[in-house]
């Protein structure tokens, strides 16, 4: 698989501006792009399955630290409904105590990186088996932080880093350059998904 690492991306971005960028700052932007920004770019995210375990009698399940956005939650192979807690309150005031095989998940009024399963699982699940064939586990379908990028995203990602580098306060700050870097990078991120956007049309 052709991929590019964070350090190679920084080197490439700096080549584009004849080594005028600050590699330390660019490295920080690259790390942030892979971990935080890429999952937020429409169509630019990379989906993954992550697996974890649940304990009988405990509704709360921790979400893996690499997860940025949960798309779906599975328990024992079944996709659970994502419900607001108000809906569960309306169904039964005693819902947090109900036990059985979970059929819904919620994140309202929960700690960060925790989901609450309803009903509370009545069995303890494992997380050691295969992600895709295991049936007795909690599986998150999620957008996750990345450590590498596909090679076809190298140029848009490099321009994205440069847009940050040249918009920060520095002796070579260039807001016009930064704005164009961002504009072209966004257009390229769209292009790789087959979306042709007319740059002359105002949104």
Partner 1 sequence: MSTTVAAAEALLLTRVRDVQAVAHGDVLLDVLSDCQRVINACYGGVLATASLTLVHRQTCYVRSDVATNVVRPVQVTVNNRILTRTPWTELKSDNPDWLHGVGMPRVWDFIGHNLLVVYPSPPQAAAMTASVRYITETADCIEGQYLEIPDAHVPVMLDLAAEVLLLRQRLFPSIAEAAQSLTQHSNPRIVP
Tokens representing 179 are 């704005």
CA angle at residue 101 from 95 to 102, to 5 degrees? 60
Cβ closest to partner 1, residue 108 vs residue 152: 152
Q: How far is the CB of 42 from partner 1 (least distance, A)?
A: 11
The Cα–Cα gap between 130 and 125 comes to 13
Is 91 a residue that touches partner 1 (CB under 8 A)? no
- Give the per-residue contact string, 158-187, with partner 1 (x = CB under 8 A; - = no): -x--------------x-xx--xx--x---
Phi-psi region of 43 (alpha: psi -120 to 50; beta: other; left: phi over 0): left
Handedness of CA 67, 72, 73, 76 (dihedral sign): negative
Is 16 a residue that touches partner 1 (CB under 8 A)? yes
Is 42 a residue that touches partner 1 (CB under 8 A)? no
- Give the per-residue contact string, 122-151, with partner 1 (x = CB under 8 A; - = no): ----------xx-x---x---x------xx
Cβ closest to partner 1, residue 15 vs residue 97: 15
Is 79 a residue that touches partner 1 (CB under 8 A)? yes
Report whether 95 contacts 88 (CB < 8 A).
Answer: yes
Is 196 a residue that touches partner 1 (CB under 8 A)? yes
Report whether 35 contacts 59 (CB < 8 A).
Answer: no
Q: How far is the CB of 112 from partner 1 (least distance, A)?
A: 23
Q: How far is the CB of 202 from partner 1 (least distance, A)?
A: 14
* Residue 143 CB neighbour total at 10 angstroms: 19
With CB under 8 A, what is the number of residues at the site for partner 1? Answer: 49
- CB burial of residue 109 (10 Å; 0-12, 13-18, 19+): exposed
Tokens representing 58 are 């405990």
Q: Quick check: bond before 119 cis, omega within 30?
A: yes
* Interface residues toward partner 1, by CB under 8 A: 1-2, 12, 15-18, 43-49, 71-72, 74, 77-79, 132-133, 135, 139, 143, 150-156, 159, 174, 176-177, 180-181, 184, 188, 191-196, 198-200
């Amino acid at each position: 698989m052709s991929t590019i690492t964070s350090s190679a991306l920084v080197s490439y971005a700096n080549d584009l501006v004849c080594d005028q960028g600050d590699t330390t700052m660019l490295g920080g932007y690259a790390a942030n792009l892979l971990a935080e920004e890429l999952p937020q770019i429409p169509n630019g995210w990379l989906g993954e399955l992550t697996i974890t375990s649940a304990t009988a009698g405990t509704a709360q399940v921790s979400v893996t630290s690499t997860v940025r956005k949960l798309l779906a939650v599975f328990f024992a192979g079944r996709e659970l409904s994502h419900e607001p807690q108000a809906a569960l309150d309306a169904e039964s005031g005693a819902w947090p105590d109900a036990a059985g095989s979970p059929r819904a998940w919620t994140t309202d009024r929960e700690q960060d990186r925790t989901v609450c399963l309803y009903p509370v699982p009545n069995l303890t699940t494992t997380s050691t088996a295969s992600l895709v064939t295991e049936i007795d586990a909690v599986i998150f379908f999620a957008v996750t932080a990345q450590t590498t990028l596909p090679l076809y995203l190298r140029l848009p990602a490099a321009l994205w880093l440069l847009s940050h580098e040249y918009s920060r306060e520095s002796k070579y700050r260039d807001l016009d350059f930064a704005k164009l870097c961002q504009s072209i990078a966004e257009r390229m991120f769209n292009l790789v998904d087959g979306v042709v956007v007319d740059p002359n049309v105002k949104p």
